[in-house]
Amino acid sequence: MPLNPNSDGIKELLDYAASNGIKCLTMEPLSRHTTFKVGGPCSLMLFPDTIAKLRKILSWQGLGEIRHMVLGNGSNVLFSDQGYNGAIISLAGSLNSVKESDGVIKAEAGALLSRVARLALERGLTGMEPLSGIPGSIGGACYMNAGAYGGEMKDIVTSVTVLNRNGELKAIPREELMFGHRTSRFIGSGDIIAECTIKLSKAKKSDIQSAMEDFSNRRRLKQPLEYPSAGSVFKRPKDDFAGRLIEQCGLKGVSIGGAMVSQKHAGFIINKSGATSQDIKDLIDKIRTTVYNETGVLLECEVQIID
């Protein structure tokens, strides 16, 4: 169960953050901050709207004693129904300034990919098109090298500015980011991405716009965007597709409680109606066991399960 917001540590962090002008919410339902629309209450959520405020939080002495994590747009996470016992630093919608100069975009971590893509289009810059429909933040997208339709973050990022556990800022060049298929040096590192620098090249606005429209139409056609989900639940197995294997095992349309394997795209689990986090986890287990027993492939989760 989440810590009582009046408990030691949480109460002190709340007072400290509020006195530094940082918006805070206690016992906030995580279902409001995730695209699966599930998850119980979080003891304390913090919404820093500048990098200076984010640094303030990270340099607070007691932070090491409290369980904490950073959240982007919540489009690749599954929190438990019991909620999160600790503090979540939420960046999407708060730390979201985006600037462009000479084809170089500097985007704060909470800026949504769609917003960065819009600015790129306005300035006649190409490179963001395949990523424009991914419903994540720049920070979340760098964290796991998000990608679609042959484009990945690794193709456009030139450096990432991170804050370590002591609140110290450091710029890391692309060569050191260790980008791979849905992975980077950030996975499990504890570093927080504060800002990302992206280099794009000039192109005709009409070409950029039609490419974005084409990708967006393909998404609408193939993905169950009308339901809450976290996109593809599993990483792509070697030389195959998770969705194809799941479909081959007859799991399309199978449901547990309010969670269902999408009829439109078997790689997606959708929150069909009032699913709990446990329904989704049980369905993930069922899919992994069935696919393993029938094909020998052990699917690896792309969605981050946070208990």
Name which position in 39, 135, 151, 267 contacts ligand FAD (CB under 6 A): 135
C-alpha to C-alpha distance for 126 and 92, rounded to whole angstroms: 24
C-alpha to C-alpha distance for 92 and 45, rounded to whole angstroms: 12
Shortest distance, position 69 Cβ to ligand FAD, whole Å: 5
Contacting range for ligand FAD; rule: CB under 6 A; set: 128-136, 203-211, 238-246, 283-291:
128-136
Tokens of 77: 């996470």
HSE toward the beta carbon, residue 183, CA cutoff 13 A:
9
214-253 residues in contact with ligand FAD (CB under 6 A) are 223, 225, 229-231
Shortest distance, position 134 Cβ to ligand FAD, whole Å: 4
Beta pairing partners, 29: 41
> Given CA atoms 89, 194, 115, 267 in this order, what sign does their dihedral have?
negative
Which run of H or E residues covers position 90?
strand 84-90
Beta pairing partners, 99: 106
User: Distances from the Cα of 193 to the Cαs of 139, 162, 174, 272, in angstroms?
Assistant: 6, 4, 13, 33
Shortest distance, position 149 Cβ to ligand FAD, whole Å: 8
Shortest distance, position 185 Cβ to ligand FAD, whole Å: 11
Judge whether 232 counts as a catalytic residue: yes
The length of the chain in residues reads 307
57-86 residues in contact with ligand FAD (CB under 6 A) are 69-77
Contact characters 15-54, ligand FAD, x per CB under 6 A: --------------------x-------------------
User: Looking at 75, 80, 182, 195, which residue is catalytic?
Assistant: 182
Active site residues: 182, 232, 302
Chain residues binding ligand FAD by CB under 6 A are 35, 69-77, 91-92, 109, 134-137, 139-141, 143-144, 146-148, 186, 192-193, 223, 225, 229-231, 304
